[in-house]
Structure 1
Amino acid sequence: MSSLKSRFLSTFIALGATFALTVATIAPAEAQRQTIRIATSSTGSYGYAVGTVLSETIQRGLGRGFEVVVQPYPSTSGAMISVMNGEGEFGYTADVGMRSLYDGARPYDDFSPRRGMLVHSLYVYPMETFMLVLDARKDEFNSYADFDGRPVFFTPAGFMNWLNMRRIFAALGYEFNHVEIDSATVADAYQARSIDGSAGYTTAGRSLPTYWREAELRANLAAINPTEEEKEKLRAAGLVPVEIDPSVAFSQELGVDRIWGVPIYFAYNVRADFDADLMKRILEILHENVERLVDGDPGFGPLAADFVGTQAAGVAANPDIPVHPGLAAFLKDHGQWDDSWTIAGQ
């Protein structure tokens, strides 16, 4: 073999050995990356958009040792069930969804999780539910008591705001008389008097769902607030009304300077077996980067205004449900832990 060929072969062998060593070094490192799967609602939904912003922020904070991915599901309950069966780490839910889960209500009445139940872990944004009527009929309604037993469209049956209004009426002791209609026909149902009122809702006090945006273009509306006595009853039930500026979300005046709505706290919760130190670290990353979250979606505004308080409010809505040890440690660090709450696994 010529000297040139010999040197070429030696160089080729050396390069091959170096490449093999490099691959052998990289492969274990890649294999050691921990995957965190965020199970959320369907692509195009608000929950999916929020999950994407969260995943990007968590990924940036945790670094290359982790891979944070978003997994969409057709429904919120589907996302929750997938995580409880071990097919994800964070499950998209809300305080009312957690209530249904722990009460064994549909679709969880025959459900037995393969890995474990979701527990309070991370609350991310509120939706606020309230009552609306036709402006021409506003003098007929002065409180939520005026809707007691009356035909009302409480948003589509089974949806989170429907569940929220059901628990509001239960706390007040009023009859919940839901009339199911196509949400696109709210204005028509008002005019036909097939409903006396309807539940409306905003996301983070700012935006309306599409069907309400269309309804307010076709009908003059008025908001009906609970009385002070009703608000006290709601607070006693852990349903603390919050103020909403109607001029921010609506394009018309609603006859009130402020709307009092009962918030739903939407969450990405984990099972109790999720690593406590990692959960606390993720909470700290999000707490430190709330402005980045707002840049990704303005719906994070209330979270940015009071990140710790949002976590505490999410727990307080269902104080009997266990709290993840990582969230418990985070709340204790920030002086917002309530000793009456239960830490999962303790």
Structure 2
Amino acid sequence: MTPSQIDRRSFLKVSGGAGIAALAGCLGGDVEAVSIGIPGGSSTTGQSAQALQSVVQDQSDSIRFDTEDSGGDPASIRLFNDDELDGYTASNFISTAAMNDDEPFAEDPVDGIAYQGFQIGVLELHWVALDGSGVETTDDLLDDDITVWMLPPGWGLRQLSDTVHESIGILDELEENEVDADTSDIAGRVDEGDVDALISYGANGVNLPGWATEVDARADLYAVEHTEEFQEGAAATEGVNTDTIEIYGYDQDMGADEVFTWQETFQFFFAEEMSDDVAYEVAEISHNHWESAREAQEAYLDHSDFANMVGGYMDGVPIHPGVADFLEDEGEWDDSWERGE
């Protein structure tokens, strides 16, 4: 089922009017605080949100844009549904899962997701291995003596990767030899020789997340060859885009010029209760001051190009009316999109 086929219940947050108002209310004077859930400071989306936070702080006298580490976008969506966040970063894949009551929401579904804000970018996931591991292709990941790290369990990227590897038919075998570690610990586990291969990713064709940069600095890595069977299984996974890209971001020779990737688009999502003025100003600041945000996170998208702001929109999911107003004022609104109420 695609987002355009989903009932309105799935994306409009049911709210009694309490909760968020306490978080997004005035701090005194005319300053409004908004809380934005992020997966963690070492993630690309977390760093991008923190970069925007810094720019909003510099440019706005009326908004306090506060990022909060939720542990992952599934957790952010749950906190939003509990009226504990005014917005969050999340992938389209996990957002669709939340709307469809798919994993990781199958056993404990949520009422829905927030309105779409604007795009953060595309992450490109792939396997890399440690020198001396003996791993040459993705088939070798299944050897009994190979230990793997597959991203933190609470992340939407982990659910995406699990779904891809389940589609290929190798998830259960991979999990038998999985190392359990957070991003803050993975470089140390690599140093200790506990990991033979891991899932890494780049952002927007520019760089690696902070945790992967640390692994890259502390270990000899190389790109794993993704077999034809692996690529076909990944490409057949519903809701997942795949591609073969030029390797980027690593500060060493990865032993190949290209690598196969499974990909995910991330966006900012804003609560229905967030005022139109706040959503409008945040979008305007990101559009006008993206270069300042890029000083903090090199992969921050060039939002002076509206295609980079709206390129991740999902069909059938409303756009926050404040962001819609901004796009209309700039002559960039598309009548095929749906405006939130």
Deviation per residue, 1:300-329 (Å, 9 max, x gap): 1xx11775334444324xx45443344456
User: Does the residue aligned with 2:152 lie in a helix, a strand or coil?
Assistant: coil
2:241 equivalent among 231, 239, 248: 239
Per-residue CA deviation, residues 6-43 of structure 1 (Å, 9 max, x unaligned), is xxxxxxxxxxxxxxxxxxxxxxx985515131323488
Q: Which residue of 1 aligns with 2:128?
A: 132
Aligned residues: 297
Question: Which residue is 2:164 aligned to?
Answer: 168
**Structure 2: 5+ residue runs without aligned partners?**
1-25
Check if 1:315 corresponds to 2:313: yes
Q: How does 1:101-250 map to 2 (within 5 A)?
A: 101-104=98-101, 105-106=103-104, 109-110=107-108, 112=110, 117-133=113-129, 141=137, 146=139, 153-169=149-165, 173-177=168-172, 178-179=174-175, 180-183=178-181, 184=186, 185=189, 188=193, 198-204=198-204, 205-210=206-211, 213-214=214-215, 217-225=218-226, 230=232, 233=235, 237=239, 239=241, 241=243, 243-246=245-248, 249-250=249-250
TM-score, normalised relative to structure 1: 0.65
Question: In 1, Cα distance between the equivalents of 2:114 and 2:163?
Answer: 21
Match of 1:26 in 2: none
What is the identity, as a one-letter code, of the residue corresponding to 1:160?
Answer: G
RMSD: 4.3
How far residue 220 of structure 1 moved from its aligned partner, in angstroms, is 4.6
AA in 2 matched with 1:285: I
Larger Rg: 1
Specify every segment of 5 or more residues in structure 1 that has no aligned partner in the other structure, as ranges.
1-28, 192-196
Return structure 1 stretches of 4+ with deviation > 6 angstroms.
135-139, 147-151
User: AA paired with 2:258?
Assistant: R
TM-superposed deviation, 1:103: 3.2
SS in 2 for 1:295: helix
Is the aligned partner of 1:39 residue 2:23?
Answer: no
Q: 2 CA distance for matches of 1:159 and 1:131?
A: 17
Q: Of 55, 77, 86, which aligns to 2:83?
A: 86
Q: TM-score, normalised by structure 2?
A: 0.66
Change (3 A) 1:250 1:112: closer
SS of the residue corresponding to residue 293 of structure 2 reads: helix
Measure, in 2, the Cα distance between the counterparts of 1:148 and 1:223: 9
In structure 2, the partner of 1:253 is 253
Superposition deviation, residue 297 in structure 1: 2.3
Bigger helix share: 1
- The alignment status of 1:58 with 2:56, answered yes or no, reads yes
| Residues 130 and 219, structure 2, Cα contact 8 Å, conserved in 1 | no
Taking CA–CA contacts closer than 8 Å with sequence separation of 6 or more, which of the two structures ends up with the larger relative contact order?
A: 2
Identity of aligned residues (%): 14
Counterpart contact for 2:151–2:199, Cα < 8 Å:
yes
Q: Choose 131-140 or 80-89, whichever is displaced more.
A: 131-140
